[in-house]
Structures are given as structure tokens and as C-alpha cells.
Amino acid sequence: MILAGMADCCCPEPAAVAEPVACPACQTASKPVDSLTVKALLTEVALRRLEAADYRFCAGRGCDVVYFAGGGSTFVAGDVRVRVGQKEPAGLGTVCYCFGENEVDIAEEIERTGDSLAVDRVRTHIAAGRCACEVRNPKGACCLGDVMSAVERLRRAVKGVARP
């Protein structure tokens, strides 16, 4: 699998924290997420509970927690304006929040044409400066790597090698 290079991505990854932090609900390793992302994606009601803190994103598929902070503040899937692709069943998630690329459409495109151009479509948008992953993607980072991984996984699934 080819990984997205920094030149391909629309925004830098959040700064890494020296010590890994596990989600308090599922113990999945989390990633830091900018408060701008959290504020942009919380519902109006959830935004009223936001506290100044360093938030982290939990990608655990079976976990309802999306964002949490060290002081115990948590936000679950119902507190977020969009469906979080990492929380959806495999094969059903959104992989590009700016341009609507999702696993269902990618799989259908592969079944119909034999391949998917989702990566090329997203790269074209990135090159044109159209993406806003830092505020649209719940993890607050470039989605190109997620799109690439989904296309590869779904190619194998459609060919009957593996399930999504």
C-alpha cells in the first residue's frame, strides 16, 4: 500500500504527544486533535459543554467516544454533527469529509468499473486548495491516507480476497 506523502496532504498531522493516551472508554490509542476541529464538529448542545482542554480523537470502532480530554470531558458520536467514519461498520464509513468519498460508493465504483478513482479525485481537490480536513474530518487531519487505505481494502474485498 502506498502511503500519502506530505506533499499530497492538505494539512499537517497534529503534533505528536510524547506519551500515548488511551481512550478512557475503550483503551484505544488516541491522537491529538485541534480544538478548532472539535468546535466545528460538535452539535450546538454539545458545544455548550466544551471546556478549554487538549482534546484527543478516539478511532475505536466499537467505542462511542469521539473526543475526550484529560480532565474527564468527553463527547460521543451523538454529540458530533457528522457520522464518524471510523465508528461506522467496516465498509460503510465516510473516508473524505470534504468531498463525500465513502466506502459504499467506492465499492460500487470498483464493482462497476473494476477500479476507483477516489484517490485521484481527492488529490485533484487538494492540488486546487479546496479541502478543509482540519475542520471537516473528525480526526482533524488529512483524509488522503484513509481514502487510499479504503480503496486498497475495497479492491481486495470486491475481488473476493477479503471482506471490508
Stretch 107-127: mean pLDDT, rounded? Answer: 96
The string of pLDDT tens digits covering residues 91-105 is: 889 999 999 999 999
**Does residue 20 lie in a domain region?**
no
Residues 55 and 93 in one domain: no
Residues 90 and 113 in one domain: yes
The string of pLDDT tens digits covering residues 47-91 is: 999 999 999 999 999 999 999 998 889 999 999 999 999 898 888
Residues 47 and 106 in one domain: no
Which residue segment(s) compose the domain that 95 sits in? 85-158
Asked whether the predicted pLDDT for residue 161 surpasses 90, the reply is no
What pLDDT score does 2 carry? 38
What pLDDT score does 72 carry? 82
Q: Which uninterrupted H or E stretch holds 159? A: none
**Does residue 90 lie in a domain region?**
yes
**Does residue 105 lie in a domain region?**
yes
Q: Which residue has the higher pLDDT, 50 or 8?
A: 50
